[in-house]
Each structure stands twice: as C-alpha cells, then as structure tokens.
Amino acid sequence: MPVILYGAAHRGTMVSRYLRSFCNIIGFIDKRAAEIVAHEDIPVMSLADSDKGALVIVCVNNIFEHESIALELASEGFALVVFCPVDGSNMAWRSASIGLERIAR
C-alpha cells in the first residue's frame, strides 16, 4: 500500500527514516511543496497532487493540528488517515486498527 507522510519537517523526517525500510513511502504532503521538490530523497507534493488512495500519516509536531488536518484530508477524498486525536476527539468513532503488515504491502 502506498504511504504518504503529511509534513516534511522534523517529525516527517523521523517517521520516514523509521518506515522507509518496510513501507512504500511515495511522498510527503507539505504546504511548502512549491519550494521543496524532494525531502529525504522522497518527492514533496501538494495536497491536490497527492494519491487519494494512499494511506496518509500526519507527521506534524503539534497534535492539536492533527484533527483539523485529518478533516481537511477527508474533505479532499483521502479515506485512510492515521493521526493523533486529542482527548475528546469527535473523530474517535472513525478510527480503525490497521496493522503495519497491511501498510507494508
């Protein structure tokens, strides 16, 4: 399954370094996509140019932004999003467990 990391900064770098040996990371989504062609030898793209069928992992430091990012991704047609909801999240009912072995395919 293709994986996209949302955020091409410190957190995205750390996650990409951890996952790249067993996941098919096809890119980063970043608001600075027009300025950054690639990060960690992985393409950086805008939200509009991203594969809607990929699993997106939100990799930004501020977890209070994760839910709004997940809602934005959902409104753009992304169905598989992993993020860190804050306590009391209204999206808790939408979460589902997904094993890393499924992501690695």
Mean pLDDT of the chain: 85
Concatenated DSSP letters for 6-23? E--SHHHHHHHHHHTTTS
Q: In this structure, are residues 70 and 92 in contact, taking their beta carbons and an 8 Å threshold?
A: no
Helix ranges, the chain (H): 10-19, 66-75, 100-103
Higher-confidence position of 93 and 55: 55
Q: In the Cβ-directed half-sphere of 41, how many Cα atoms lie within 13 Å?
A: 2
The pTM score is: 0.82
Q: In this structure, are residues 8 and 17 in contact, taking their beta carbons and an 8 Å threshold?
A: no
Mean pLDDT, residues 14-28 taken together: 95
Residue 16's CB: how many other CB atoms inside 10 A?
22
What's the pLDDT tens digit per position in 22-31? 999 999 999 9
What's the pLDDT tens digit per position in 62-87? 888 988 999 999 999 999 999 887 76
